[in-house]
Amino acid sequence: MPELEHALADVAAEMAERSDRGDVATYIPQLGKVDPKRFGIAAVTNDGRVLVAGDADQAFSIQSISKVFTLTLALGNVGDALWQRVGREPSGNPFNSIVQLEHENGIPRNPFINAGAIVVSDILLAGHQPREAIGEILRFIQFLADDETIIIDREVAASERATGYRNFALANYMKSFGNLHHAPELALGVYFHHCAIAMSCRQLALAGRFLANGGKNPATGHSVVSAERARRIGAMMLTCGHYDGSGDFAFRVGIPGKSGVGGGILGIVPGVASLAVWSPGLNANGNSKLGSIALEKLARMMNWSIFAP
């Protein structure tokens, strides 16, 4: 097996050569401005190494990767009662799909599709002004990464709000079923802002490390969530983290992952490492094209899989 540091450098070098980089998301206009040639990768191991290659210190819009952290926070606030308002099944549909909501009475399939994450935002709003809920989410991520420089990109949030017709439709539809407790625009305000958090691969891998280490931050030993909850969040990532591409990601990469339309992916190798990769071009399912390929190659090189003996 190669040294992890060399494996990361090899993967980054190989990805730099590729011309088939996918398409940058443009439905949020601000995301369309990002250079598709960027590529970064970072690994934070449970034994404390932080290894990076490529543009690993360049901040990008984490988008739906933030849903892992909002789910973690909301489970901390309301516990398993969350699952009365959000399901735990893969949707087999695109991230912004509305079709299942009517049949399933406004209960989204899982917390990682947009509808589910909007309900999670609504849960985080309880007892708060949107500004406070957004601040709580940002501070939680800063705490996980141990980095107070992480910020919300207000231009991305504004760009998404200005063009978020589908998300408004999802929120209004769920409100009609009684599955939003606050005004749709308030829940969406929280949602748009957490999607607009900007982080580098290094920061993201640091923020995810508790999931690779049984719920504890390996650097401090502090418990973020119970080991059982960390396993369950990992299970949601494996089954739902890449929308209608979740099965393919599990097949090819074999570890829990969560993607975002900014081109990032957070990957968790339980017991070993937290990984983050970024390449802005997306595949047909709206997941990072080269990011998925890079994680597939890295997992193969390192013999990483939750199914490895």
Ligand X SMILES: NC(=O)CC[C@H](N)C(=O)O
> Binding-site residues, please?
64, 114, 160, 167, 191, 243, 261
261 is annotated as an active-site residue: yes
Pairing status of strand 257-259 against strand 197-199: unpaired
67 is catalytic: yes
In the complex with ligand X, the residue whose CB is nearer, 264 or 270, is 264
Buried b (16+ CB within 10 A) or exposed e, 63-82: bbbbbbbbbbbbbeeeeeeb
86: tokens are 């959000």
Tell me the C-alpha distance between 145 and 137, whole Å: 12
Residue 191 falls in the annotated catalytic set: yes
CB of 228 to ligand X, least distance (A): 27
Binding flags for ligand X, 95-114, as an x/- string (CB under 6 A): xx-----------------x
Which of 64, 91, 142, 292 is in the footprint of ligand X by CB under 6 A?
Answer: 64
Q: 3-state SS of 230-256? A: HHHHHHHHHHHCCHHHHHHHHHHCCCC
Q: For 69, how many CA atoms within 13 A lie in the half-sphere containing its CB?
A: 30
Give the span between the Cα atoms of 277 and 299, in whole angstroms. 13
Q: Which amino acid is at 80?
A: D
Q: Is the dihedral of CA 194, 197, 200, 206 positive or negative?
A: negative
Active site residue 243: yes
Cβ distance to ligand X smaller for residue 114 or 274: 114
Given the complex with ligand X, which of 59 and 261 has the nearer CB atom?
Answer: 261
Is the CB of residue 258 less than 8 Å from the CB of residue 237? yes
Please name the residue that has the structure tokens 């709003």.
125
Residue 64 or 279 with smaller CB distance to ligand X: 64
- Taking the complex as a whole, how short is the minimal distance between the CB of residue 254 and ligand X, in angstroms? 22
Binding mask of the shown chain, residues 178 to 217, with x at each position contacting ligand X by CB under 6 A:
-----------------x----------------------
How many Å apart are CA 43 and CA 234, to the nearest integer? 17
CA distance 229 to 62: 22
Which residue ranges are tagged as binding site for substrate? Answer: 64, 114, 160, 167, 191, 243, 261
Interface residue with ligand X among 90, 260, 280, 281 (CB under 6 A) is: 260
Q: Please pick, among 121, 191, 200, 253, the residue that the annotation labels catalytic.
A: 191
Angle at CA of residue 255, ends 149 and 54, nearest 5°: 45
Binding mask 136-175 for ligand X (x = CB under 6 A): ------------------------x------x--------
Sites for ligand X among residues 266-295 (CB under 6 A): 286
Give the nearest distance from C-beta 29 to ligand X in angstroms: 12
Choose, by CB under 6 A, the member of 45, 46, 63, 288 that binds ligand X. Answer: 63
Minimum CB separation from ligand X for residue 108, in Å? 13
Between 16 and 169, CB nearer to ligand X: 169
Interaction of residue 72 with ligand X, rule CB under 6 A: no
Q: Is 197 helix (H, G, I), strand (E, B) or coil?
A: strand
Q: How far is the CB of 213 from ligand X (least distance, A)?
A: 25
Residue among 60, 70, 74 at smallest CA distance from 204: 60
Residues that bind ligand X (CB under 6 A): 63-64, 95-96, 114, 160, 167, 195, 260-261, 286
Catalytic residues: 64, 67, 191, 243, 261
